[in-house]
Amino acid sequence: MSDDIRALAHARWRVAIGLSAVVFVLYFGFILAVAFAKEAIAVQIIPGVSVGILAGAVVIVGAWITTWVYVAWANRHFDSSLKSINEKARG
């Protein structure tokens, strides 16, 4: 495996792990709050909307955002780098 491919694979792995860690923290932070801070997440922000509902929405939106960040990064960096590596390999 060439050094270019190794560097590209390492960069993709680094981005994927970082974004996965963000989703992990969001999700398990929410689950731990539900389990251990019931009173705090039951607080009403406005009638019908509690801190827990807002936190659940943040988890969902956070997953969407991290997915968008990965797709944008892959489109901008990964795909173009892979294309140039393939062109270089062809001659």
Residue 50 makes CB contacts below 8 A (sequence gap 6+) with 41, 42, 43, 44
> Which residue range(s) make up the domain with 83?
3-90
Tell me: the pLDDT tens digits for 12-24? 999 999 999 999 9
- pTM for the whole structure: 0.80
Q: What is the pLDDT of residues 28-40, one digit of tens each?
A: 999 999 999 999 9
Please, what is the end-to-end C-alpha distance for the chain in angstroms? 16
Number of domains in the chain: 1
